[in-house]
């Protein structure tokens, strides 16, 4: 189940930098372009990504590297990461992305599995959203609000629908306790 951990993270700088730099969504497109991807209606910006950007690497690679591009161009997003790390004090950082679920789009039902998913807990922080974005897991549906920190049930079946007319931007962090 989804679990709300924190409210009132400041996401305004991240909103502004993403709004003013729409080209960032086009840099790395493998996540949405893998055949039969649950994420075909999304775009992603990697703040910290796998060492191997292949379909197999996305699922199984445990090595994660910081993005110099994100460091240079997304300081507001990195500031949110620092706030969350300070609060949760993880033993290890995994991947960190900003995911855009397009207006009217969906993330298909799926379960994140494999060595990578088993190693990390997943956290979501909405940077920009609307009241028509619903995240589902068995017996649970949630509309996350901007600036909230959520523990996300990625190792159980989950899916998302954006029935609104604006895109949804979530900062997604994989952390090990």
Position 51 in a domain: yes
Number of structural domains (the chain) is 1
> Is 45 a domain residue?
yes
> Tens digit of pLDDT for each residue in 12-27?
999 999 999 999 998 8
pLDDT grade for 90, boundaries at 50, 70 and 90: very high
Residue 52 lies in a domain: yes
38 falls within a domain: yes
The CATH number given to whatever domain includes residue 7 is 2.60.120
Assess if residue 165 is contained within a domain. no
pLDDT in tens, 29-68: 888 888 889 999 999 999 999 988 888 888 888 999 999 9
Residue 170 domain-assigned? no
Who has greater pLDDT, 138 or 58?
138
In a domain, 166, yes or no: no
Q: Is 145 among the domain residues?
A: yes
Bridge partners of 107, per DSSP, are: 160
Q: Domain range holding 12?
A: 3-160
Q: Which of 55-69, 83-97, 118-132 has the lowest mean pLDDT?
A: 55-69
Average pLDDT over residues 111-117: 91
């Amino acid at each position: 189940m989804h679990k709300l951990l924190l409210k009132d993270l400041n996401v305004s700088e991240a909103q502004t930098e993403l709004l003013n730099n729409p080209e960032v969504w086009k840099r790395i497109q493998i996540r949405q372009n893998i055949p039969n991807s649950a994420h075909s209606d999304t775009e992603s910006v990697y703040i910290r990504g796998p060492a191997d950007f292949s379909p197999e690497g996305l699922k199984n690679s445990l090595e994660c590297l910081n993005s110099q591009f994100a460091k240079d161009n997304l300081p507001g997003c990195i500031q949110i990461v620092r706030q969350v790390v300070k609060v949760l004090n993880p033993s290890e950082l995994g991947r960190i992305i900003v995911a855009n679920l397009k207006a009217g789009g969906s993330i298909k039902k799926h379960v994140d599995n494999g060595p990578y998913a088993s190693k990390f807990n997943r956290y979501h922080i909405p940077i920009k959203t609307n009241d028509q974005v619903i995240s589902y897991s068995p017996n649970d549906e949630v509309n996350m609000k901007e600036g909230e920190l959520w523990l996300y049930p990625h190792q159980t079946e989950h899916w998302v629908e954006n029935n609104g007319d604006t895109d949804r931007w979530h900062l997604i962090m994989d952390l090990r306790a």
